[in-house]
A and B are shown apart, each in its own frame.
Chain A
């Protein structure tokens, strides 16, 4: 059965890239959100198996959105996918409970590796 993925990224291009990379794999993009607020709202409705979360977004950023999702749904799987990738943000993502971090720009292998590790 395909695992259901919710993509949270304010960039239409990043959303398209992820949809393209996951097409034909064991993962299916079931929802795309453009910001943290939308992600919180959609998570409740969609209940995905995994959330890919950008950090730099208008409004609630990805770290805060991940924190809130994991607070409300401790079993949620969140994989950060962001360009803002250095010790400070990576450590914070770990503290929050994110399952991993994929750096932008990403390729298909990096994304699939990150997702597989998040499910391990």
Chain B
């Protein structure tokens, strides 16, 4: 997105550096890919690529939702628990349906189950949003509370047990449920198609709709945005609802992949999502971040952990390396914003004479 590299001749050196820094997540991705292609045999095989993508996708969904939340200056710690809760809801609906207590039960087909589970995720996000906007609870606290509530609800739904054998029932039209996580379309897993779709929609929202602009404005300067006529509260509620929806999708995918729903699913997923967003250049202080950056960030993290596993690096070292990469990303990010500000200042100073 550097539009004026040729105009300011004196600082061409800085501009190259800036370009390099801006593309740092891509650079990291290429480096990680190149390294594992050499170090880990079979890493570049098509089968492995699909496998890695599936791992990455789980995190990427959550990270996309998280990116919007962080851009508004908030945080959503509840997504991991919502993943667990939504998986349990899907499992319950598949196994038991809804029993109105009249001696018969309502059963749902796959489409209806997906719809209901998505509504559950959106509802949890709506509650987060309401807590934050109407009751003035800090996002960290509101979503931390929701983290416990949703996890507890997931555990309560089965008494802590797993819902097994979620194969669906052809009689109810739910036999296609396992296809969400396992099916393929044109050679690619359905969940990858879903990720592509969600990425496109999220990028479109961010770049080409007033809502997206408002999300950035709220994070950049909430009061300024409000005075400019931005409905700050609505925007905030939306991002938490969107994040909840992403968590619901992940809950569905995992339950479908495993053909089982376990209430502890999704623990610490929120931290991975935050890491991917930050690695992709999203600023924790709000106002800055891009969906595509987050996707690349999720791939860097995913490839890193899968590659290290293939190389047989101990999982303890994996954690250390992952942590260092995240910290390094933020350090570089700070350097980039400083240089960027300097280049822009130099340009404007050149104009003003």
A binds B: no
Q: Which residues of B contact A (CB under 8 A)?
A: none
